[in-house]
Amino acid sequence: MRIDAARLAQSIEELGRIGATPRGGLTRLALTDDDRRGRDLMVRWMREAGLRVTIDQMGNIFGERAGTERVPPVMMGSHIDSVPTGGKYDGQLGVLCALETVRALNDHSVRTRHPVTVAIFTNEEGARFQPAMLASGVMAGKIALEDAYNARDKDGLRLVDELERIGYLGAEPCVPRPFRAYLELHIEQGPVLEEAGLQVGVVDGIVAIAWSRLTIRGVQDHAGPTPMRIRHDALVAAAEVVGGVRAIARELGGDLVTTVGNLTVQPNIPNAIPGTVTLSIDMRDPRTETLDAARARLDALVRAACEREGVRGELDHYWRVPYTPFAPDVVAAVERAAVASGARHRHILSGAGHDAQYMAAIGPAGMIFVPSRGGRSHCEEEFTAMDDIAHGATTLFLAAVDLAERV
Ligand SMILES: [Zn+2]
């Protein structure tokens, strides 16, 4: 039993045309007109495949293929929203491989004990409405529906109004629903599989993530008359922190990655000594204990840098998710399916957050990775070879049949 790779390639092509950019990428932000067109196409395809489609209060779309018994479904899914000038693979590949799994089940007239459901989650990217993974977060009970509804884009438009405008404000309650397993196929977004010449990653879990915000207050003054010896320059201290954050990863080693991605300088003009600087620190590691060690080093680094420059630093560790392990029986099913599909594969961790992270909080979840060329994603150059996609899709299909119990 195999999936139909040509049909899958055709669907990737067709859905990828909605919001396509001139350089082969995709701009399809959540709840825009293009998102609506993408959703409409998916719903049509889901109905054509015989699925019973329902929409919940967050605009999440579910398409169910009945099982022989009324037991919780095996759910497969991802998202179809993209970042601005993103790629055609992030998110939509997982949704289309899930749909292809259903089509292949139909081709082979496979009956399963558990229902099989295709799920499309709203606003995964967090590009238009923050935070990311908003709708799976509501479903998992981690984000209040009210807060999600009141999220606003940069033009002040509310999420709930945009949901209604595009016709995807559904009636089904967005609450934890039981499932036998949740499976998400996704591009790796890193270089590991490609560098090893592999086609499929059996994902064991999602790394722990810690976000901190640092505000440094120095003394704003004139860049000319103020002698160097009496300066308290917030940006000089910040620069030391930026270099030091990189050094934390180098010193602790292993898989730890650390990033300062956002920096604001006030007043940010050529002829004033910067008075206030804020910066973000993102640290990730498979082991929560390593993140604790990294945080202690960050505290010491900020103290030392601020002391040297005679400025005040306020460090706020405001967001943290522990390591999310996937369910051993689901990971094992993915492993068996990867072997059966003939894919060259290995076990791997996800360095990025996914809807599967929230789903893992309410039921047994697992993921399948396929390679990203050059490790690149969230850009128009994002690419995965069709042969790798076919192996990943076959792995998803076989894992779904396994978990849903063929009868
Ligand atoms: Zn994604």
Q: pLDDT per residue over 50-61, tens digit each? A: 999 999 999 999
CA of 125 to the centre of ligand 1 (A): 7
Residue 319 has a pLDDT of 84
Residue 5 has a pLDDT of 98
Residue 320 has a pLDDT of 85
Determine the Cα–Cα distance for residues 388 and 150; give it in Å rounded to an integer. Answer: 40
8-19 average pLDDT score:
98
CA of 186 to the centre of ligand 1 (A): 7
104-113 average pLDDT score:
97
CA of 345 to the centre of ligand 1 (A): 21
Residue 1 has a pLDDT of 82
Tokens of 50: 């015989």
Place of tokens 């990311």: 132
CA of 77 to the centre of ligand 1 (A): 11
377-396 average pLDDT score:
97
95-124 average pLDDT score:
98
CA neighbor of 398 nearest in space, from 101, 75, 41? 101
User: Taking 90 as the threshold, does the pLDDT of residue 74 lie above it?
Assistant: yes
Residue 54 has a pLDDT of 98
Instruction: Give me the chain's average pLDDT, please.
Output: 97
Residue 61 has a pLDDT of 98
- Residue 321 — very low, low, confident or very high, per pLDDT cuts 50/70/90? confident
DSSP result, 300-362: HHHHHHHHHHT-EEEEEEEEEE--EEPPHHHHHHHHHHHHHHT--EEEEEESS--HHHHHHHH
User: Taking 90 as the threshold, does the pLDDT of residue 244 lie above it?
Assistant: yes
CA of 78 to the centre of ligand 1 (A): 7
CA of 4 to the centre of ligand 1 (A): 23
326-343 average pLDDT score:
98
CA of 277 to the centre of ligand 1 (A): 31
CA neighbor of 122 nearest in space, from 104, 101, 136, 108? 136
CA of 131 to the centre of ligand 1 (A): 14
The model's pLDDT over 123-154, given as tens digits with 9 standing for 90+, comes to: 999 999 999 999 999 999 999 999 999 999 99
CA of 380 to the centre of ligand 1 (A): 14
- Residue 374 — very low, low, confident or very high, per pLDDT cuts 50/70/90? very high
